[in-house]
Structures are given as C-alpha cells and as structure tokens.
Amino acid sequence: NAGVMQNPRHLVRRRGQEARLRCSPMKGHSHVYWYRQLPEEGLKFMVYLQKENIIDESGMPKERFSAEFPKEGPSILRIQQVVRGDSAAYFCASSPPPRNNEQFFGPGTRLTVL
Amino acid sequence: GESVGLHLPTLSVQEGDNSIINCAYSNSASDYFIWYKQESGKGPQFIIDIRSNMDKRQGQRVTVLLNKTVKHLSLQIAATQPGDSAVYFCAENAGGTSYGKLTFGQGTILTVHP
C-alpha cells in the first residue's frame, strides 16, 4: 500500500508565476490536509478537504491560495502570483474515516520562489 | 491564541540513553495528541498518539505521557539509537469544529551520539 504521494518534490517559480502542488492520498483515505512549513518551524495547518468539499480552510491565506480535492484525481494546492514569502515546504496528509485524527504525511513539495 | 510549544529546542544524548522530549499545550479543549518524527528532507512520520481520556500510552521503545492538569505532554524514547536523530514535533487536535486540524509545536532537535 503506497503512502501519501506528492509531486513535484521540488518546484522553482519566479515571482508572479503560478505554482500547482499535487497530493495523492493513501488508498482508502478520503480526507486530505495541507500544511506549510517554514525553515526551522513547525507545520502550520492550511486546509482540510474531503472529496469535492472544503471542510476547514481557516489556515489558508485569503488571496492567491486555493485548494481542491475532486471526485477523481489528486488534491491540488494552487498558489497564484507567487511571492518570495511563499517559499516553504508544503506537506499533504491523509486519513481514513472515521478516525480522521490520525494523519499520514507525504514527503512534501519544496517550493522556491526566485 | 491557543498554541502548542516545546520546552527544549535541542537535546543531545548518548546512544543507549533514554530520551525525554517535552511539550506544553495551552488549549484545554484539546482531546487528541500526536508525536511525529521528521528527518531532514522528509515528511513527518507518525510515532505515537494519545487521547485525553488516557494519561499514558506505550509503543515500541516509546512512551507518551499526558498530564492534563498542567497541560503537559512528553515523549520518552528508551535506549536511544543514532537512527532516532531527527526533529520531534508534538501536535494536538481540539476536536469539535477544529476536527482534522492539527496544531504543531516548533519542534525539538534530538541528536544521538554514538
């Protein structure tokens, strides 16, 4: 059973470009979470999604950031018009219902904005 | 605001010693706690969890203790090995409307010397 998969593992963008980060949850998991980690800091919650629904987006910046988890395919975290402050590691986690406290993390996407 | 934090940012031990990593939390509504291990360049790896109706839980070489009176959580690693060297994070979930949202501490760097 493959773990949580994220791609790309490394992404370099110039200021003003768009970044798309993908996450495929573990098989059988229908809950996906996105977290951001700045260097030498803990992870910060961004958004919690179930298939076709955003459950909690209290950690998402109000502008430029969006997330989706379609019925088919991976979850996507999209950052429009990236700025240098968006440079970070972005982690996706998934969990199986109903015990969706236990979250399993992917390897992360390291975004660098030049 | 509510937060989870760690008392010690770094911990150095000799191989074979026992390690204790501490964590303080401030949200009295938290009912679920997890310890994660993160190695350089990787995503957080689940170690052990505990619910608020328990005060101790044991795994393989690891024990988590929860003191709700003083809002303190600790991770004990027995017979620490060089492979245990990593950053350790505690995380908490408050349940209710925050169900699925983990709040992470800043992390403790554990270094095990052979």
Task: In whole angstroms, give the CA distance from residue A64 to residue A82.
Answer: 8
Q: CB within 8 A of B96, min separation 6: which ones?
A: B29
Contact between A82 and A51 under an 8 Å Cβ cutoff? The reply is: no
Amino acid at B63: T
pLDDT tens sequence across A72-84: 999 999 999 999 9
How much is the pLDDT for A98?
Answer: 61
User: What is the C-alpha separation between B39 and A99, in angstroms, rounded?
Assistant: 26
Query: Is a pLDDT exceeding 60 seen at residue B74?
Result: yes
The distance of B3 to chain A (nearest Cα, Å) reads 11
pLDDT of B66 strictly over 90: yes
How many whole angstroms separate alpha carbon A73 and alpha carbon B4?
34
Look over chain B and give the mean of its residue pLDDT values, rounded to a whole number.
Answer: 89
Per residue in B18-63, pLDDT (tens digit) is: 999 999 988 888 889 999 999 988 999 999 999 999 999 999 999 9
Round to whole Å and give the CA distance between A86 and A37.
10
- In this complex, the residue of A40, A56, A105 whose CB is nearest that of residue B100 is A56
> At residue B7, does pLDDT exceed 50?
no
Q: Is the peptide bond before B82 cis (omega within 30 degrees of 0)?
A: no
**B49 sits in which H/E element:** strand B45-51
DSSP H or E stretch at residue A32: strand A31-37
Quickly state the pLDDT bin for A28 (edges 50, 70, 90). Answer: confident
Mean pLDDT of all residues in chain A? 92
What are the tens digits of pLDDT across the range A35-67?
999 877 889 999 999 988 999 999 999 999 999
Phi-psi region of A28 (alpha: psi -120 to 50; beta: other; left: phi over 0): left
- Which of B43, B46, B106 has the CB atom closest to A102's CB atom? B46
Name every chain A residue with its beta carbon within 8 A of the beta carbon of B43: 4, 91, 105-108
What the block records as the tokens of B100 is 């699925």
